[in-house]
Amino acid sequence: MSAYFQILCDFVWVATTLALVAFSLGLILGELKIVNVAQGDLMMVGAYSMYVLRDLPFPLALLLTFVVGLVLGLALERGVLRWVYDKGFMTTLLASWGVGMVLEQAAAAIFSVSQKGLDPPLAGQIVVGAFAYPTYRIAVSVGVVVLLAALLALVYRTSVGLRLRASIDNVQMAALMGVSPQRTFALVFAVATALAVLAGALVAPTLAITPTMGLSYLAPSFFAVMIARQGSLAGPIAGAIAVEFVFTVLQAYLNVTLAESILFGLLALFIAIKPQGVSWSWKKAGKETQ
């Protein structure tokens, strides 16, 4: 029984952080139509930021790191991405790849490549009967779930979110309605960057902090976004949960390498069969014009 609790908690831990990264990726893909392959490196920035601020109280460091993320996102959007929007899908992909490379190398230059470590602010475990699970992980999982719920509420229940969704759906139309594309792009990218940075900051105490630490999150978050409908914002979250669920099940019975290989294979198959993704919404969609 305890084994199942363990698996459940592991699943929630990974799925929540993955969902956060996937949400930020989906935000960028939906609004800016850019595949941001530097998302993993943004996580790395968050981790290093927490390392630099490790002597401050954890919540304060987290807040400052979030601000760092906003600033970085703004700088990247205005400095690099703005020039490549109209140059095609591949150019934006390659530009973001270049950005990721520069971020990695900058981190290596500043911090050297040796692994850094950070202690979790909450040591110890929560014990329920025979079952014990690290307190930090549970706290973060709960926190991220709350954050995601708040984000979804923001997107689907507020006028700000409405403007965002309008802009995602049809930029020119939304512009005519008064939603400035430039400001929206910059703001969205900044927030999405900050969310990825935050995700990295939250996982930092559990891993080795290296310049290439973000790469292992890249592929799963991509898949999570791709199996959802493009432009959907709740979709990537559901996608992350689905991807992680399948992976957890596979991992429980097979060794990890085989589980990963099967996961990739399944995802490739899924994308081949259903390229437009799955519409996770159960609401009846409105009228679509040809």
Partner 1 sequence: MSKDGFGAYGPLVSRRGFARGAANLALGVAGASALGGFAGRAQAAPFKGSRPYKIGFVAPLSGPVAPEGLAMQRGFDLGVEAINAVGGIAGQPVEIVRQDDQAVPAVAGTVIKKFIQQDNVDMIVGTITSDEETVAGQISAAYNVPVMFLEAGFWMPFCTSSCVLLGETSYSLLSELVPFMAEKYGKKFVLIGSDFEFPHQYLGVGKGFIAKAGATVTDEIYAPLGTADWSSSIAKIKAAAPDVILSAVVGGDAIAFVKQAKSFGLLPGAHLTGITLQPEFYPPMGDAVDGLFVVTRYSEEIKTAGNATFVAAYKKKYGEGPIPLVGVTASYALNFAKAAVEKAGTYDRKAVFEALHGARATTPLSDAPLTLNASNLSIDYPMYICQIQSGGLFKIVKELGVVPAGLKSC
Partner 2 sequence: MISPATNERTGAHAARREAAGPSRPGRLLVAALVVAAALAPFVLNEFKVGLIALSLAYGLFAIGLDLAWGRAGIISIGHAVFFGLGVYGVAIALNGGGSALLGAAAGVALAATLGAALAAAGLRRAANPSTMAVLTLAVTLLAEKIARSWWSVTGGSTGIFVAPLASTDVYYWFCLAATVVVAGALWLFALRRPFGARLVAIRLNSQRAEHLGVPVHRERVVAFALSAALSALAGCVAAPLMSSVSPDRVGVVLSTQVLVWTAIGGKATMLGPILGAVAATYGQDALATRLGDSYLLLLGVLFIGSVLLFPAGVAGPFHSGPLVVDSGANAGPAPRRQPAAGDALLCQAIVKRFSGNVVLDGVDLRVGAGEIVCLIGPNGAGKSTLLGILSGAVAADAGAVALAGRRIEAEPPHARVAAGLARTFQVPSLFPGLSVGEHLILARQEAGGRVTLPEAYARLEREQRERRVEDLSLSDRRSLEIAMALCSSPTTLLLDEPAAGLARAEANRLAATLRALRDELGCAIVCVEHDMEIVRDLADRIVCLHRGRIISEGSMDAVSADPEVRRAYLGMA
Binding residues for partner 1, rule: CB under 8 A, are 3, 6-7, 9-10, 13-14, 108, 112-117, 119-120, 123, 125, 132-134, 136-137, 203, 205-210, 212-213, 215-217, 251-252, 255-257, 260
Which listed residue (84, 132, 166, 278) binds partner 2 by CB under 8 A?
84
In the DSSP assignment, the letter for residue 276 is T
Q: What is the three-class DSSP state of 199?
A: helix
Out of 230, 246, 248, 278, point to the residue binding partner 2 (CB under 8 A): 230
Region 126-145 residues binding partner 2, contact defined as CB under 8 A: none
Of 163-171, 199-207, 242-250, 273-281, which segment contacts partner 2 by CB under 8 A?
Answer: 273-281
| Interacting residue with partner 2 among 19, 29, 186, 195 (CB under 8 A) | 29
Shortest CB 55 distance to partner 2, Å: 28
| Shortest distance, position 25 Cβ to partner 1, whole Å | 17
- Provide the mask over 231-270, with x wherever binding to partner 2 is found by CB under 8 A and - wherever it is not: --------------------------xx-xx--xx-xx--
**Burial category of 273 from C-beta neighbours within 10 Å (exposed 0-12, middle 13-18, buried 19 and up):** exposed
The one-letter code for the residue type at 61 is A
Residues 6+ apart with CB under 8 A from 40: 21, 100, 213, 214, 215, 216, 217, 218, 221
Does 226 sit near partner 2 (CB under 8 A)?
yes
Q: Is 94 in the site for partner 2 (CB under 8 A)?
A: yes
Nearer to partner 2, 97 or 131 (CB): 97
Nearest to 146 by CA among 12, 5, 48, 1: 12
Segment 30 to 69, residues that bind partner 2, using CB under 8 A? 35
Min separation Cβ 124 and partner 2, Å:
36
Q: Does 101 bind partner 2 (CB under 8 A)?
A: yes
For residue 116, which amino acid is it?
A: K
The partner in contact with residue 109, picked from partner 2, partner 1, none with C-beta cut-offs of 5 to 8 angstroms by kind, is partner 2
Q: How far is the CB of 28 from partner 2 (least distance, A)?
A: 12
C-alpha 40/C-alpha 252 separation (Å) is 26
Q: Which does 272 bind (CB under 5 to 8 A by kind): partner 1, partner 2, none?
A: partner 2
**Two tokens, residue 178:** 């008064």
Least gap, CB of 248 to partner 1 (angstroms): 8
Q: Which residues pair with 127 in a beta bridge?
A: 132
Alpha-carbon dihedral angle through residues 7, 9, 15, 17, given to the nearest 10 degrees: -140
Q: How many angstroms separate the CA atoms of 169 and 22, rounded?
A: 19
* CA distances in angstroms from 175 to 2, 87, 156, 179, 183, listed in the order given: 54, 21, 20, 5, 11
